[in-house]
């Protein structure tokens, strides 16, 4: 077996471990926002590494892989931001132990002004 | 003149992407795509953003990407540590930070970078105030939070977006 196949497989394995940890985070975290955090970060690096490993195994695909990685790095945080924002405006509360919610203070003052 | 530079720049980018995506080496093929890219760039020339022409900005952009990648890796180990430990060590809350950046593009990049870095997630943005969900709040004071979360990024982004 060629060396680059082994290297690519190892990188793909590391990526899938991160994806697994992301899934575990979504399962274990107490509220939506914390789940969002675990989901976004782990899936970004997990997907990047998984794709990169495939790109190293099949080096003729590396160009396409790099373009896909770029789009994932650009779109992943935007989607999670949109979900978190929508959830907060819908009124989904933070978990019990939360320290502060400055956005809620802002929203409630806006209502008073109106 | 400004518009012509924009159009040429975006034509080049679109052609480059097609070239990378298909891996074609046929010159005729690339010429057709370059022509189509030119037409698209002319039609949408109002919504294109200005290319960065100074080499300093390019160097800072490359450094920024490397810095961001290191931050993403740190963020993942941070999340992994929190997820695996039996009693999930979190202390969450939504804090505000203030950004010095003026351009809309710079703010967008900043907000997305914050989402990708350890323990922070941008929930909302209102002019120069960002509302950030922080998984481990150490201080709810705006100044301290700004120092801790956005100062590192602003160093680079201030140069890149002016």
pLDDT digits (tens, 9 = 90+) for A54-107: 998 888 888 888 888 888 888 888 888 888 888 888 877 777 766 666 666 666
pLDDT in tens, chain B (162 residues): 777 888 888 888 888 888 888 877 788 888 899 899 889 888 887 776 666 667 788 888 888 888 888 888 888 888 888 888 887 777 777 888 888 877 778 888 888 888 888 778 888 887 778 888 887 777 777 777 777 777 777 888 877 776
Total Cβ atoms within 10 A of residue B70 = 11
Query: Do A63 and B119 lie within an 8 Å CB cutoff?
Result: no
* Residue A76 near residue A43 (C-beta atoms within 8 A): yes
Supply the DSSP string of chain A, one letter for each residue: --HHHHHHHHHHHHHHHHHHHHHHHHHH-SSHHHHHHHHHHHHHHHHHHHHHHHHHHSGGGHHHHHHHHHHHHHHHHHHHHHHHHHHHHHTPPPPTT---BHHHHHHHHHHHH-
And the tokens for B57? Answer: 């900005």
Query: Do B79 and A41 lie within an 8 Å CB cutoff?
Result: yes
Find, among A47, A32, A23, the residue nearest to A84 by Cα. A32
**What are φ and ψ of residue B93, in 5° steps?**
180, 165
B142 Cα distance to chain centroid: 23
d(CA B95, CA B145): 7
Supply the DSSP string of B90-153, one letter for each residue: -B-EEEEEE----SHHHHHHHHHHHHHSTTEEEEEEETTEEEEEESB-S---HHHHHHHHTHHH
On whether ipTM exceeds 0.85, the answer is no
Find, among B97, B81, B86, the residue nearest to B137 by Cα. B97
Predicted structure pTM score: 0.80
Q: Which residue carries 């990685």 as its tokens?
A: A69
Q: What is the pLDDT of residue A51?
A: 92
Q: What is the pLDDT of residue B105?
A: 80
CA distance B53 to chain A (A): 22
Q: What is the pLDDT of residue A114?
A: 47
A58 inside 8 A of chain B by CB: no
d(CA B35, CA B17): 14
Interface probe, candidates B123, B130, B143, B149, chain A, greatest A C-beta count within 10 A: B123
With cut-offs at 50, 70 and 90, classify the pLDDT of residue A109. Answer: low
Domain total in chain A: 1
User: Does the pLDDT value for residue A29 go beyond 70?
Assistant: yes
Query: Do B115 and A80 lie within an 8 Å CB cutoff?
Result: yes
- Determine how β-strand B120-126 pairs with β-strand B93-98: unpaired
Determine what percent of chain A is predicted with pLDDT higher than 90: 12
Q: Which domain holds residue A55?
A: 3-113
Q: Which residue carries 């002019």 as its tokens?
A: B127
């Amino acid at each position: 077996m060629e060396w680059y196949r082994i290297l690519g497989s190892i990188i793909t394995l590391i990526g899938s471990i991160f994806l697994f940890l992301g899934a575990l985070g979504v399962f274990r975290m107490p509220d939506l926002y914390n789940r969002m955090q675990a989901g976004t970060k782990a899936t970004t690096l997990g997907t990047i590494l998984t794709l990169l490993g495939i790109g190293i195994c099949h080096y003729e695909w590396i160009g396409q892989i790099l373009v896909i990685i770029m789009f994932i790095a650009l779109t992943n945080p935007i989607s999670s931001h949109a979900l978190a924002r929508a959830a907060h405006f819908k009124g989904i509360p933070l978990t019990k132990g939360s320290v502060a919610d400055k956005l809620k203070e802002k929203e409630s003052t806006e209502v008073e002004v109106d | 003149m400004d518009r012509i530079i924009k159009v040429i720049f975006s034509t080049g980018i679109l052609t480059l992407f097609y070239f990378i995506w298909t891996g074609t080496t046929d010159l005729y093929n690339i010429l057709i795509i370059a022509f189509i890219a030119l037409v698209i760039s002319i039609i949408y020339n109002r919504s294109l953003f200005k290319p960065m022409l100074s080499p300093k900005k390019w160097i800072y952009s490359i450094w920024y990407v490397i810095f961001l990648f290191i931050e993403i890796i740190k963020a993942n180990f941070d999340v992994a540590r929190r997820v695996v430990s039996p009693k999930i060590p979190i202390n969450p809350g939504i804090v505000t930070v203030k950004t010095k950046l003026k351009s809309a593009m710079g703010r967008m990049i900043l907000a997305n970078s914050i989402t990708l870095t350890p323990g922070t997630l941008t929930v909302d943005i209102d002019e120069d105030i960002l509302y950030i969900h922080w998984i481990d709040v150490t201080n709810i004071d705006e100044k301290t939070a700004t120092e801790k979360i956005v100062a590192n990024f602003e160093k680079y982004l201030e140069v890149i977006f002016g």
